[in-house]
A and B are shown apart, each in its own frame.
Chain A
Amino acid sequence: ETGVTQSPTHLIKTRGQQVTLRCSSQSGHNTVSWYQQALGQGPQFIFQYYREEENGRGNFPPRFSGLQFPNYSSELNVNALELDDSALYLCATRQDLQETQYFGPGTRLLVL
């Protein structure tokens, strides 16, 4: 167990809807990253938050957005869902300047 939790575990949405995924980190982990993992692929970096500010973004459109709260928990929001957004969404947390990231169990999103 990494101490990182994500909710919900599974979610089914229809095309065009919006979704919010949540991540709670270990105590003291002030950096959170979100990854998208399509079936049979490795995870792809979406963005990273450090002390409530986005400080890195991968090749994802603006309809993918996030928030980090003062307690370092985080949300990933996806607007105007597309079928290709179906994937496992993983968050990973770490302490500032530490190299090791700790992953949550993921949220599996299915878009119909």
Chain B
Amino acid sequence: SQQGEEDPQALSIQEGENATMNCSYKTSINNLQWYRQNSGRGLVHLILIRSNEREKHSGRLRVTLDTSKKSSSLLITASRAADTASYFCATDVLDSSYKLIFGSGTRLLVRP
């Protein structure tokens, strides 16, 4: 079963705009990770935020984590057409197994 729910399921924006995706999860976690997937290919790791962190930046990406609400958000600033992809959050649950539990993803379309 999926741990996370992502919102929205699909997002269409103009190049240059910001894109925000949200993720909610159910159980306690070690960390939460965001991945990108182009056209049903392999997953590319974007950013990892640990349970004791509240915000993290990497280039045009900003991730927040609210463990009290069991939610995270991914912000992509100044989007480009090349950012068009599916984005998944994945939680590394607190059972020392290191398995990732993925959400159902947000499909982002950036129009040129």
Q: How far is the CA of A99 from the CA of B96 in the complex (A)?
A: 11
A interface residue count range (under 10 / 10 to 19 / 20 to 34 / 35 or more):
20 to 34
Q: Which residues of B contact A2 (CB under 8 A)?
A: 42, 44
- Number of A-B residue pairs at CB separation under 8 A: 71
B45 at the binding interface (Cβ < 8 Å): yes
Q: Indicate which residue in A31, A56, A58, A103 contacts B43 across the interface (CB closer than 8 Å).
A: A103
Stretch at the interface among A11-19, A37-45, A78-86: A37-45
A88 at the interface (CB under 8 A from B): yes
Q: How far is the CB of A25 from chain B (nearest CB, A)?
A: 13
Interface size on B, residues (CB 8 A): 26
Enumerate chain B interface residues (CB-CB to A < 8 A): 1-2, 4, 30-31, 33, 35, 40-45, 48, 88, 90, 92, 97-105
> 6 smallest A-B Cβ distances: which pairs?
A42-B102, A105-B42, A103-B43, A56-B97, A45-B99, A103-B42
Question: Can you list 26 A-B pairs, Cβ within 8 angstroms, ordered by A?
Answer: A33-B99, A33-B100, A42-B2, A42-B90, A42-B102, A42-B104, A44-B2, A44-B102, A45-B100, A48-B98, A48-B99, A55-B97, A59-B1, A99-B30, A99-B33, A99-B92, A100-B48, A101-B45, A101-B98, A101-B100, A103-B43, A103-B44, A105-B42, A106-B40, A106-B41, A108-B40
Q: Give 15 new A-B contacts, CB below 8 A, not counting A41-B2, A106-B40.
A: A31-B98, A33-B99, A33-B100, A35-B100, A35-B102, A42-B103, A42-B105, A43-B88, A55-B97, A90-B42, A99-B30, A100-B33, A105-B42, A106-B42, A108-B40
